[in-house]
Chains A and B, each alone.
Chain A
Amino acid sequence: MLQIVNRKDRFILLKKNLASFWGIYRRNTMGIAGLVILVCFALMALIGPYFVTYTSAAEGIEKVLQPPSAEHWLGTDDLGRDVFAGVVIGSRISLVVGLAATVISMVIGAVIGIVSGYYGKTLDALLMRLTDIFLVIPWLPLMLVMAALLGPSLGNIILVIGITGWAGTARIIRSQTLSIKERPYVERARAIGSGDLHIMLHHILPNVFPLIFANTILVAAVAILSETTLSFLGMGDPTSISWGMMLHFAFEMGAVAFGAWWWLIPPGICVVLVVLGFTFIGYALDEVLNPKLRRR
């Protein structure tokens, strides 16, 4: 008879797995770099906004569009606001929108993937056609159209990014579910009378979880980029400053022709760094989880 793993054993097993995972991961320079970058930005978003003030200058024209100085580290924008403060404040919205959209994508992707793979047959065919549609429709036009119709608000941006980004995840989770549901322990669970929901939650979900996690990293990178792009194209909420929104205002005010590089470069660099952070981690995870890519 198969050995029944109780909760405590499972916890020890998990701890052991995590420890061995960390052992390999920690030697991956890229992975550590990504982690450090993301921790820095997370701290910036969490506590940064309490230390800066982002208000229009009252004194008038001489404070407007100033290049970097000792007083304003990254210069000022067209309203005399400190660009550095904008970058710090923008980090919060950018990260929150990106992560919230990621959560929506992952939940939809995981549910559709597991249900589709587990039930199979007609339901699977239907859900996979739906997934195909979302995979093949060009994502930016779709997001722009939805955002334009729903109207500019933070919640809508999150929703739009979230419901366009799940298809790839659903595909991957489904194929993994297909292989897991054939394993003996699932059969055994069914034989002792476990319901479908129980099997999906307690046997399939824990086994596809590493995959969901690895995918989340990549989806998050895309979500952050999407937020920036949508905001830049004017679909963001003009009252909440994100990095994309800063770039939108800068572009619309003609900062490019004016040569106001201090207004255009810092928000972009932040986006690149955060996306790079996620990508590094994703890359490292891939190398840790896929032995084929490891050096022979």
Chain B
Amino acid sequence: MKMRGFILNKLGQTVLIIFVVLVINFFLFRIMPGNPVRILIRNPKISAEALQRVTEQFGLDQSKFVQFGYYLRDLCLGDLGHSFVYRRPVLDVIMEKLPPTLLLTGTATVLSIILGILLGVIFAWKRGSKLDVAGLSLSLVLYSMPSFWVGILMVMLFAVYWKIFPLFGMSVPGTSFASIWGRLADLLKHMFLPTVTFTLILIGEYVLIMRNSLLEVMSEDYMLTAKAKGVSGRNLLRRHALPNAMLPMVTLIAMNLGFIVGGAIQVETVFSWPGLGRLMYTALMGRDYPLLQGIFLFVTVCVVGANFCADLLYRYLDPRVKT
């Protein structure tokens, strides 16, 4: 069947991309100037014998291809190396920081998609009105702001000036709560500003694309036909325009995953949110290369995998797509 060929083709491409990412990840971290052993050990006064021993232990005396083989084998066993700073396996550290990131990005993504579609439809429907112009300008401004700066503005306004929300973190360290509700309330309070920031960052593009997509659909001939048939108002929008206008959104949401990851790094850094994004920032600051490499690989594989799923979904939603 055609669908099966399509899936196999896409799967092949995805595997290829992941393999190339592995190669990039492997060689990128090995073209660094300087002896990798010295970078690994970070002790300038190491003796020659110890240096020799570590070199052999990590297989660094072998050829690059053999090393790449070791690297792949370790990966298959779930070994992403050891973090310099945390002194623990990289995968453990990543898994520990993953839930907060998923919580934050998940909430913000869902919120921004729903609000973005809603607002995009409203603006497109009221095209040229004051509301449309105001909404469009606001979306453009939001789209033009560096993500971290939106976060800084939010903190300054709501946490420093008005003192409504906590400055940073996911909870107040050292506090104990009588009930689960108190704990939840505290979490929500801490989560509010990062989530709003993240939603603001993401929503601009969704609004703009939804509006444009709907406008484009509305200028299609079949819309004119529907209008001529006497379909009007709500029905015209819901039955004829929206299903087609939503298609680009599916691709956009998948393509935006990389952007969401970038946003997470910035928002989590500004709010000291204990997730993967902030972990990457601390790894960068501490020059913790194994951790950095691990996070990069983890994030990339996740995004590539999600893109694969989105491709399949798109094919299912729009049977016209033939490639």
Q: How far is the CB of A258 from chain B (nearest CB, A)?
A: 8
Which residues of A208-267 are within 8 A (CB) of B? 221, 225, 228-229, 232-235, 244, 247, 251, 256-257, 259, 261, 264-265
Distance between Cα atoms of A135 and B296 in the complex (Å): 15
For B195, what are the chain A residues with a Cβ–Cβ distance below 8 Å? none
Smallest CB separation, B289 vs chain A (Å): 8
Residue pair B146, A228 in contact (C-beta under 8 Å): yes
- Residue A170 interfacial (CB < 8 Å): no
With a cutoff of 8 Å between Cβ atoms, the chain B residues found around residue A225 in the complex are 144, 146
Chain A residues whose C-beta falls within 8 Å of the C-beta of B153 in the assembled complex: 265, 268
Write the chain A residue with the least CB distance to B260.
A138
Please indicate the chain A residues that have their CB under 8 angstroms from the CB of B143 in the complex: 279
Does B28 belong to the interface (CB within 8 Å)? yes
Interface contact B303-A279, CB-CB below 8 Å: no
A residues near B265, Cβ cutoff 8 Å: 140-141, 144, 233
Task: Name A275's closest neighbour in chain B (CB-CB).
Answer: B144
A292 to B143, CA, bound (A): 23
Closest residue of chain B to A261 (Cβ to Cβ) is B156
The answer to whether residues A256 and B155 also contact, given A139-B262, A279-B140, A292-B219 and a CB cut-off of 8 A, is yes
List, in ascending order, chain B residues with CB within 8 A of A132's CB.
13, 17
Residues of A within 8 A of B316 (CB): none
> Residue-by-residue, is B111-147 near A (CB-CB < 8 Å gives 1, otherwise 0)?
0000000000000000010000000000011011111
Q: Does A293 contact B (CB under 8 A)?
A: yes
Does A5 count as interface, using CB distance less than 8 angstroms? no
B128, B141, B156: which contacts A259 (Cβ < 8 A)? Answer: B156
Most chain A CB inside 10 Å of its own CB: which residue of B149, B155, B161? B149
Q: Is B91 an interface residue (CB 8 A)?
A: no
Interface string of B7-24 (1 = CB under 8 A from A): 000000100110011000
- Per-position 1/0 for A259-296, Cβ under 8 A of B: 10100110010011001100110010000000011011
Given A136-B307, A233-B266, A256-B155, A148 and B284 contact (CB-CB distance below 8 Å): yes
Chain A residues, CB < 8 A from B255: 135
Residue contact B284 to A234, C-beta cutoff 8 Å = yes
Size of chain A's interface in residues, with CB distance under 8 A?
Answer: 45
Known: A144-B280, A149-B29. A293 touches B215 (CB 8 A): yes
Report A-chain residues with C-beta under 8 Å of the C-beta of B155: 256
Q: Which residues of A contact B299 (CB under 8 A)?
A: 138, 141
Q: Which of B292-323 contact A (CB under 8 A)?
A: 292-293, 295-296, 299-300, 303-304, 307
Say whether chain B's binding surface is mostly helix, strand, loop, or mixed: helix
Residues of chain B lying within 8 A (CB to CB) of residue A261: 156
What's the Cα separation between A283 and B143 when bound, in Å?
Answer: 13
* Chain A positions within 8 Å of B148 at CB level: 229, 232-233, 247, 251
B71 within 8 A of A: no
Q: Which residues of chain B are within 8 angstroms of A272 by Cβ–Cβ distance?
A: 141, 144-146, 149
Residue pair A133, B262 in contact (C-beta under 8 Å): no
> Does B94 sit within 8 A of A, measured CB to CB?
no
- Evaluate contact between B269 and A233: CB separation under 8 angstroms: yes
Known A132-B13, A149-B31: A137·B149 in contact at CB below 8 Å: no
B167 at the interface (CB under 8 A from A): yes
Nearest-Cβ distance from residue A114 to partner chain B, whole angstroms: 22
CB-defined contacts of B183 to chain A, threshold 8 Å: none
Contact A133–B140 (Cβ < 8 Å): no
The answer to whether the Cβ of A96 comes within 8 Å of any Cβ in the partner chain is no
Report Cα–Cα, A257/B155, bound state, in Å: 9
Given contacts A133-B21, A149-B31, contact A247 B295 (CB under 8 A): no
Complex Cα distance A148/B28, Å? 11
**A115-160 interface with B by 8 A CB criterion:** 129, 132-133, 135-142, 144-146, 148-149
Q: Which residues of B contact A228 (CB under 8 A)?
A: 146, 149
Contact A145 B292 (CB under 8 A): yes
- Point out the residues of chain B lying under 8 angstroms from A145, CB to CB: 28, 292-293, 296
Q: How far is the CA of A166 from the CA of B122 in the complex (A)?
A: 34
Q: Is the CB of B296 within 8 A of A136?
A: no
Q: Which residue of A lies closest to B140 (CB)?
A: A279
Closest B residue to A148 by CB, please name it.
B284
Q: How far is the CB of B109 from chain A (nearest CB, A)?
A: 14
Residues of A within 8 A of B295 (CB): 141
Distance between Cα atoms of A140 and B265 in the complex (Å)? 8
Cβ of B287 under 8 Å from chain A: yes
Question: Which residues of chain B have C-beta atoms less than 8 A from A271's C-beta?
Answer: 144-146, 149
Give CA–CA (A292, B152) in the complex, Å.
Answer: 39
Contact with A along B143-180 (1 / 0, CB 8 A): 11111110011011000110000010000000000000
Say whether B140 contacts A233, CB under 8 Å.
no
B84 close to A (CB within 8 Å) = no
Determine whether the beta carbon of B146 is less than 8 Å from that of A129: no
* Contact call B160/A229, Cβ cutoff below 8 A: no
Let me know if B140 and A138 touch, CB within 8 A. Answer: no
Give Cα A235–Cα B156 distance, bound, in whole angstroms.
Answer: 24
Task: Provide the B244-276 mask, 1 if CB < 8 A to any CB of A, else 0.
Answer: 000000000001011101100110011000000
User: Can you list 9 residue pairs at the A/B interface with Cβ under 8 Å?
Assistant: A138-B259, A141-B299, A145-B292, A244-B146, A247-B148, A251-B148, A259-B161, A264-B149, A276-B144
Beyond contacts A140-B258, A295-B128: 11 other A-B pairs, Cβ-Cβ < 8 A, are A137-B300, A138-B257, A139-B259, A142-B300, A145-B292, A149-B32, A233-B284, A247-B146, A247-B149, A268-B152, A292-B216
